[in-house]
Each structure stands twice: as structure tokens, then as C-alpha cells.
Structure 1
Amino acid sequence: MKEALDLLSCLVACPSPSGKEAAISELTAGVVEELGLKCEHVGESVLAYAQRCDPKILYVSHLDTVPVGAGWSVDPFAARWIGDQLVGRGACDAKASAAAMLWSLSEAAKEGAADGVVVALTTCEETTNTGMGDVLGRLGMPELAVVGEPTGLEVVRAQGGLAIIEAEWRGKSCHAAHAYHTSHTNALVEASKELGSFGFVHELPSEVGLLGPTTIVPTVMNAGERHNVVPDAATAIFDCRLSPPHDAATCLDRIALSLPGASLRIRSDRLKAIETGADHRLVQVALGIAGKDSAIGSNTLSDMALLQGVPAIKCGPGDSLRSHKPDEFVTEEEFLAGCHFYRDLLFALVREAVAFA
């Protein structure tokens, strides 16, 4: 398994913040060829396959990461193994999945079990998901898909959606020095009053038990530019994690009840909830290989959201709670378990022809 461990270290050592993936794209292409596989670029996303780039089974993970941020105790790109932990930005989310998927495809190719399989390693997953959109534009929809994200090898068959809603308050400005005797309306104060009444989070009950409730959380606020000007505008952003039957409009209506002074608009609602049936063969085979009794749901987002209508699961090595944090890591045991899971699942899907069922 040294080859797989070296592959992971190689990917982690290459900085790849979302939107700046050119270097890791070229690096990954070289790695794909060294594994004896064929390679194709779609923008800076990378496709790997054994013979034909015509997927019935799509393995997909991503090459990009969030920015490094502060608080690291080690160089985030030294790709150092500290004991049994590889520490580095992206080690867990999601380069462990990416490396394990590439290794599993190379192993399947050696056994002649990679026909109709493509591994897609996308860009911009942490921001706009445009890499996945471009990949699907090139390939079309597969017959089934496995999305590599850190789930602790729990099999995720349902993923929540996302809506982003913006609230805006308008006021009347004046010089701050004259606020005590000049007519004005401080948009910052008006916004703060209403946001205070809204609270930290609102929940709406869900019909999908795996996903839990829809949640609405205020996450961003902006008002004013100068200390000496009373602001005449304020905005706030709400992160809405959607579970059926709720959609962006439902969340907007709920926010409006608490924010009567704000104008509201839906800024984004393109990432929809997705669910694969508990009895689908893909889910059952994956559970058997992972040694799990049942699948779970997830409200963290991934490229899975773009696979509407495709039987899909999300599963991979590492703990999602380490994602986006300083000293992010994956253990050797976790990573190797992920390699074996993806390899064994791929053999099962190809040999049992699940994609054609």
C-alpha cells in the first residue's frame, strides 16, 4: 500500500485553494498516467479511466480545498506523517478520498474490472461546484455514482439542499457627529433589532428522517463603511439547509415573519436535496462492504447535489468534523480502509453489473 500512501502525500503537498487548482490539476494528470490510466482535462478538473471515457459508474471527489487559515501547528503543505496521522490542508477533505479512488481504479484496471468506470476529480467544489457542472456537461449523467467525502465510511444516501437568502434594510444617513439632532434612520440598528428577535437558528420539521429539520441560520452581516457616517443600508445573509418538503421560498416566508422591516431575496437555491432509496442495490452493496447496518443522511454539501435523478451515495475516509480546521488530518488506518472500500465496491459494481440493473 506504499503506492497509495505516497499518492496521498503527493496530493496534500500541493496547495489547491478553490479557484486556483492549475498546479494540482497538472500534478494529478501526471499521477494518473504513472498509474497506467488514461487522463483527460475538463478545465482544471481531471478525468481518469482505463479504456473509454464513457462512465456508467462515476467515482467523484474534489481536488480543491478551503484556504489554510490561521492556527496551524505545522506547515499545512509539508504533508508530514506525525505518528499515524497525515496532517495537511485537504488531507481529510477530500484528498484522502481522491487518492483512494485513483488507487482503486488502478487496481481494478489491473484485473480488467474498470470498463465503464470514470474517476472525476473536480475543481471549485468548495465554492461554486462549477467543476462538477463542467464534468457532467462533458460526460453526461452516469447510471450511478459514488461521491468521495469524509464520512468515516458511513454510507450517506440522502443529502440536504442549500438556499442562501439575503435581507436588506434601508435607512437615512447623516453625519455621526450630528446624529443627536438630525433626522436619520440607522439601518445597522434597525437590522440588529430584527436579527436579535430572529435568534440563532430556526428549525422546520422534515419529512426525511435521515436529514433532520430544515435549519435557517443568520451567518453574515454588513453595514456602514465609515465611522463618521450613520449607515443607510444593512444586509444579512441566511444559510438555509433544506430537507424535504421545504424549499427556498418556505425559508424566505419564515424569515419574513421575524424581519418585517427587511427586503428579502433568494440569492441561490441551485443545490437541491437528493436521496437514493434505502433498498437500491448500490446502497445495499456499499453497506455490506463498509460493514454498516444502515445508511445515514448528511446536511454538509458536496458535488452529490448535482447528481439529481442518479442513484448515488456519499462515502469516504476521515471525519468531516476535521474539515476546514487547522491541523486537519487523516489517519493511515482510515485512508487504507477507504482504499479497500472503494476497490471492493468497484469490483462488486462492475462484476454484479449493478449499473445496468
Structure 2
Amino acid sequence: MTDAAARDACARRALDLVDEATIVADASSLILAASENPGGTELVAVRVLEAIASRLGARTRRTMAAPDRPNLSIRFGPEPTRERPGVLMLGHSDVVPAGSGWSADPFNPRVEGGWLTGRGAVDMKGGIAAALQAMGAVSAVCPELPLELLVTADEEDLATGIQAHLAADDEDPHRYLACIVAEPTDLAVVVACRGAANLEVEVAGRAAHAGRPEDGASAITTAAHVAAWIADDHRRMREGASGLLGSATWSVGRIEGGHGTSIVPDRCTLLVDRRLMPDETGADALAQLDAGIAHVLDDESRQAAPGAACCTARTRLLMEMPGFETDPTHPLVTSAVGALAAEGVAAPVEAWTAACEGGFVARHHGCPTIILGPGDITGQAHQPDERVLVSHLSTAARAYTRMLVGLQHEPAH
């Protein structure tokens, strides 16, 4: 039998094992395991994942990112090596807080009119359930293929899970030939994703009576000048936007400071979002911000009266999530498009405006990475009555099945 014939036979037999009702049941079990972040509640979802993995015949390994916050590796087939690399699928067990506005209990999953509703249905317990169904089906008929699903903790906040996992990784980093992130893309094939850096600016001034503000140094005024510099630099970057990802961006998400109306504020804090291009790091963004703040402080110093107090500022990098970009002609991308086409889905090849943990994998393992998953991240995730089409879950599982088989029968490249 030729490689192509073996691949097609494996795929056909695996597709026969993909069961929509089981995907919905597994996704529902994961939704019931309320794992809101913050709260360190991922353990309850990991226990459910371990039960599903055991049913499918997979091996599991927990590693702790923090107390009661485990990452979980689920492996099928032989261990991946440089000589026989595997396919890595990536997900996260935490969900954003349910919040208010739900029409029913957010952690009581329900299926109505072809939709599965519950917190995490889209982001991303539905995608994890679809991935596990595909991996179990492929492994059942082609047990020689090395497959892994990594489910991280704390993705929705500081990405401590993926960072702890990679820091402790003592295996050959080149053991994967591809990574598929099962985040919701509305079944589009996302080949490029900007990273993200969360930055903090602490401005220190001098308090004074508001009747003589010149005796003090207003931290809020200086912070406002920093925010104006950020807005100007954002416009500059957007004017030079090109390609799938466009450009990096700045956004001030929060400003807090001062003590009262009649006091010149001696402190003010800015929280800043910086979206990173794939070749940028959080340290790069921090250095750029530091240079901008130095420019602002120099301007204020030149304009101040002789002997007047001036503000100072400190910056911190709170979180970094790297971006990635995969060549749209890479076999990983063409495999994804072809798998979806076989399921009757004309999948566009796109860039993502959000960030995900795929950039960590692409950087550490040096493997091509895409994002492909059921549900719409902008229209359905992080909202009351979060829901995903059951048909999306099934289509995603079947597409993953075709890809997991096809990628490991591709000629070396």
C-alpha cells in the first residue's frame, strides 16, 4: 500500500469514529467543571480531562504552574522525538468569569436549537473536546502516530501555565512538526497572530495644596502626557501598517491616581496594552515606552519654572505573549484548508486580532503554528450566554482528524 493509500485508509477509519454526541457530552462535562480565572480553579477541569483521556486510552501528566493550577499533557501513541516528530494541539482549561446577564446558570450546559451554551463553550472547552475526540479517533486506528494535547492553566490572565511548562521542558524542543491551537476562529485558518504585552507605568509627583498647584508636581498631568505620547505613537504605527498583521498597537486600558479634588496628586498609574509583531518582545515594547516617557519628562523639565518639582516614572512588564506568523503556503496551512474543504467549509486564511499562547510554542519549539477552532471569539466568547454551534464542534473534530493523519504522512520539508 502506498503512503497516500495508507493515509486515506487511516483517515477514513478514524472519521468513522468521530461522534458528535460524545463531543457535546465531553464539552458539557468541561463546562460543568467551572474553572473561572482568577481563582486557581483549573484543577476541577483537569480532573475531567484526565477522565476523558483515560477513556480514550491516552497517557496524562500534570505539572503545576502554581498551587492548584496544573497544566496537563495528554499523549497518544509513541513519544514524539526529533526523528519521529508529533503534532501538538494546544488549549487552556481556564475561562473568564461568568459575570452577569445570563439567561440561565452559566455553568449548567444546555443544548437548544443546535447550539451548546455555557461559559467556556466557545473559549475553549468546545475546542478541547473536539480535539480530544479527533486525537482519540486517530490513535485508535493509527496508534503509531505521536499526538499530544497540552492544556494550560491561567491563559486568560498572565499565561503563567504555558511559561511554567516551557521553563520546565527538558525534552528535545524540536519534537513537533506542527502546532494547532484549538482557539475559536469561526473555522477560519489563522496563520498570523500578534503577541501582547501588558505594561505598567507608575508616575510619582509631589503633593501640594490645590490652591497653589505650582508647589507640587501633578502625577496625573504627567500621566496624561504619557498617554498622549502613547496615542501619537499608536497613530504612527498604524500609518505604516502592512501585511496580514498590519502593525503593532498601543492602548491605555486603565488610569488611576490622586487622593482628592483639593490635593495635587503625587501618584498615578497607567496600565497599557501593547500588541506585538512576531519579531518583537515585551522587552522591546518596554524599551520603546521608556524612551517615550523619557521624552515626555524632558519636555516637562524644560517647560517647568526654575526650581519647580518634576515627576518621575517607573515601568514594569507585567505579562508577555509572543506572536507568530506561518507561511500561508506551508503544508500545515494547506492541510487545514484542505481538511475543511473536505467537510464543505471554505476556510479563509486570516490573521487574528487577539493573542494566544501559540506564539510561545512557535518560539520555543520552532514549529509552524496555526489557530483553528469552532466558534466565534469576537461574537460569542467572553459574553453572557456564550454558545457554540454543535455543527462547528463536529466539523472541527473531523478537520482535526484529517489533519492529524495527513500531516504525519507529508513528505519531509
| Interval containing the TM-score (normalised by the shorter chain) | 0.7 to 0.9
2:389 matched residue in structure 1: 331
Matched, 1:279 2:329: yes
Shift, 1:197, TM fit: 7.1
Superposed, 1:275-314 pairs within 5 Å as 275-291=325-341, 292=346, 294-307=348-361, 308=363, 309-314=366-371
Question: How many aligned positions are there?
Answer: 352
- TM-score w.r.t. the length of structure 2 is 0.77
**Equivalent position to 2:372, from 315, 326, 331:** 315
1:189 to partner: Cα distance: 4.0
| Cα gap change, 1:347 to 1:253, in 2 (>3 Å) | same
Q: Distance in 1 between matches of 2:290 and 2:113?
A: 49
Query: In 2, distance between residues paired with 1:153 and 1:271?
Result: 23
Per the TM alignment, residue 168 of structure 1 is displaced from its structure 2 partner at its CA by: 3.2
CA gap 1:207/1:223 in 2 versus in 1, 3 angstroms: closer
Higher helix fraction (1 or 2):
2
Spell out the pairing of 1:186-335 with structure 2 (5 A cutoff).
186-192=218-224, 195=227, 199=231, 202-203=234-235, 204-205=237-238, 209-224=243-258, 230-243=264-277, 247-248=284-285, 249-250=287-288, 252-253=290-291, 263=313, 265-268=315-318, 270-291=320-341, 292=346, 294-307=348-361, 308=363, 309-321=366-378, 322-335=380-393
SS at match of 1:60: strand
- 1:109 equivalent in structure 2: 139
Q: Distance in 2 between matches of 1:77 and 1:200?
A: 43
Deviation at 1:38, TM superposition (A): 2.2
What is the root-mean-square deviation of aligned Cα atoms in Å?
2.7
Q: Is the 8 A contact 1:45 1:121 kept in 2?
A: yes
Matches of 2:352 and 2:118 in 1, distance apart? 24
Q: Could you give the per-residue CA deviations for residues 1-44 of structure 1, whole angstroms, max 9, x where no partner exists?
A: 21111011111111112332111111211111122322222221
Q: In 1, are the aligned partners of 2:123 and 2:184 still within 8 Å (CA)?
A: yes
What is the match of residue 66 of structure 1?
Answer: 96
Is 1:49 the equivalent of 2:75?
yes
The farther-off stretch of 183-192 and 328-337 is 183-192
How far is the alpha carbon of 1:250 from its aligned partner?
A: 4.0
Q: CA deviation at 1:87?
A: 1.5
| Equivalent residues of 1:201, 1:217 under 8 A apart | no
**Amino acid across the alignment from 1:159:** C
Residue number among 22, 25, 29 corresponding to 1:6 in the alignment = 25
Cα distance in 2, alignment partners of residues 201 and 67 from structure 1: 33
Residues 226, 292 of structure 2: 8 Å contact kept: no
Q: 2:57 aligns with which of 36, 39, 42?
A: 36
Cα distance in structure 1, aligned partners of 2:320 and 2:113: 42
Q: For the Cα contact (< 8 Å) 1:165–1:252, is it kept in 2?
A: no
Answer yes or no: is the 8 Å Cα contact 2:257–2:268 preserved in 1. Answer: yes
- 1:54-87, Cα deviation, whole Å (9 max, x unpaired): 3621111111111222222221100112322222
Q: CA deviation at 1:327?
A: 1.6
Residue ranges of structure 2 left out of the alignment (5+ in a row): 1-19, 65-69, 301-311
Q: Within 5 Å, which residues of 2 pair with 1:4-153? A: 4-18=23-37, 19-43=40-64, 44-54=70-80, 56-113=86-143, 115-136=145-166, 137-138=168-169, 139-141=171-173, 142-153=176-187
Determine if contact 2:278/2:325 at 8 Å carries over to the other structure. no
- Conservation of the 8 A alpha-carbon contact between 2:226 and 2:293: no
Query: Which residue of structure 1 lines up, in the alignment, with residue 309 of structure 2?
Result: none
Percent identity between the two aligned chains: 28
